[in-house]
Amino acid sequence: MKIPQFIRANLLLKMTSLNAVVVGIRLVISAVMQRIIYELVGAEGQYKIGQLRSLEQLLMSVTSMGVFNGVVKYLAEHKEDKPQLQKLFSTAFVFSTIGTTVAAVTLFFSASFLSEYLFGTSDFEYLLKFVAVLTPAVALQRIFDGVINGLSQYKKYAKIQLISYVLSAALLLACLYSYNLDGALVAIALAPAIQVGMILIIFYKVLREYIQFKELSFKTPMAKSLLAFTLMSFVSSILLPFVEIDIRAMLAETLSERDAGVWTNMSFISKNYMVFSGSLFTLYVLPKFASIYTGRDFKKEVLTIYKTLLPIFGVGMVLVFLLRNVIIELLYPGLTEMAPLFKWQLIGDFIRLGSLVLAHQFLAKKMVRNFIFSEIFSIATFFGLSYYLVQFYEVEGIVMAHFIRYVLYFLLVAFLLWRHFTNQRKQRLKAQKIEE
């Protein structure tokens, strides 16, 4: 089928349309998997699966020491400068070696304690030791993903994501039927290794072109540049999974594991449609913002992104809300207490999308203090409001906190960027006056 001209002429629309196909297939597979998982292990089992997924999200940053966005930024800027790229990847692999070692040792020797903390029982000590062994795969996946995103290879990225997801889902299904919850957890732990395998099969020639593996040295010439991204990643990608794990454990303790599973399922639905935007941020928004230097150009690009993405997301979210009871019945039959959560989650996610577009300027321009301040404010607001509102509204209080969090976050990010470009304009005018 021929792609319409108006889509071919707009890179963001081309990425969006291709991404929509991939995400659509993922949503169908995910819906089937969620129904099967729910029927076999219930909401209580899904709570434990949610804990493991949050742990893996945390490990993605710890094992790579948060260099993903740095790899995307500097590869986009220096893709033709091979010596600079060698410095970048040597530093990235040293960082990942340190991060992987720390994560693996901590997981392996604290497995019993962490099993109690995450799952309320020491029965999953073996699982955490298994995850510890797989941490190198988690680090490699994150760095290789950074290369694909930095090169804006969106077609190959979509192919890798789709094949990896299908294989991971097949493995999860086989393990679930054979070994129930334990099998499902082991299959989820193996997912990063599957994705690394797919990247090497599909993308190895390109990787070799940009990463001279034999010439990598155990040196860190770009340590200072990447440490800024490590710090930013620590705040956003490590604190947030930790907060999610803690809130889930709090719900299980103060309400029930079923209630923790209800919020886990709501979050899972949200993450499935928000994944649609995730790859667009790293494949398009981050490299694009890195090449913009004036407030006028930034505003123009933000409006273009908003006009392209927000209507699509808005229509999709309205449909999800209208079909919420059908979605619950299809995925989680009998879990009707999820229905009131949808409105808060969906509105919060819509505002979140608008906020994240703006906030990627912090990453693109390495505005470390603004990024850290806004992220800590966002996460602390969510954490505090969740504990407060759950006393009055139970599980619904968590999604209410999610909505309030992103309203405040959007206002804060907009203000910080307005201040940044205002100061930038004043400095430029001052410099012009001095020259005159």
Q: What is the pLDDT of residues 327-365, one digit of tens each?
A: 999 889 988 999 999 999 999 999 999 999 999 888 788
Mean pLDDT, rounded, for 214-236: 81
State CA 388 to chain mean position distance: 26
State yes or no: pLDDT of 16 exceeds 70.
Answer: no
Confidence (pLDDT) at 89: 84
Helix axes 295-322, 324-331, angle to 10 degrees: 70
Quick one: 392 exposed, middle or buried, by C-beta within 10 A (0-12, 13-18, 19+)?
exposed
Q: Residue 184 is part of which domain span?
A: 5-435
Mean pLDDT, rounded, for 60-85: 83
Task: Give the helix ranges, DSSP H, for 365-395.
Answer: 368-393
SS3 151: coil
Mean pLDDT, rounded, for 143-172: 83
pLDDT tier, 402 (very low <50, low <70, confident <90, very high otherwise): very high
What CA dihedral angle connects 81, 86, 91 and 93, to 10 degrees? 130
The b-or-e profile of 415-433 (16+ CB within 10 A means b, else e) is ebbeebeeeeeeeeeeeee
Helix, strand, coil percentages in the chain from 3-state DSSP, rounded to 5: 90, 0, 10
Confidence (pLDDT) at 14: 56
More confident residue, 214 or 352: 352
Give the mean pLDDT of the chain.
86
Confidence (pLDDT) at 5: 46
Q: Specify the pTM.
A: 0.80
Confidence (pLDDT) at 347: 96
Alpha-carbon torsion (128, 134, 137, 143), positive or negative: positive
Distance CA 116, CA 114 (A): 5
State yes or no: pLDDT of 236 exceeds 60.
Answer: yes
Confidence (pLDDT) at 222: 86
Q: Which of 11-25, 71-85, 220-234, 310-324 has the highest mean pLDDT?
A: 310-324
Helices (H) and strands (E) in the chain, counts: 17, 0
Q: How many Å from the N-terminal Cα to the C-terminal Cα in the chain?
A: 59
Confidence (pLDDT) at 6: 38
Confidence (pLDDT) at 186: 95
Question: Could you tell me if 102 and 62 are in contact, meaning their C-beta atoms sit under 8 angstroms apart?
Answer: yes
Distances (CA, A) of 220 to 51, 52, 84, 95, 415: 34, 32, 12, 8, 36
Tokens of 82: 């091979």
- Transcribe 208-262 into DSSP letters: HHH--GGG--S--TTHHHHHHHHHHHIIIIIHHHHHHHHHHHHHHHHT-HHHHHH
Confidence (pLDDT) at 81: 81
Alpha-carbon torsion (227, 230, 235, 238), positive or negative: negative
Mean pLDDT, rounded, for 314-330: 92
Q: How many domains does the chain have?
A: 1
107 — phi, psi (to 5°)?
-65, -45
Query: Pick from 312, 313, 370: which is nearest to 347 by CA?
Result: 313
Distance CA 35, CA 429 (A): 60
25 — phi, psi (to 5°)?
-65, -40
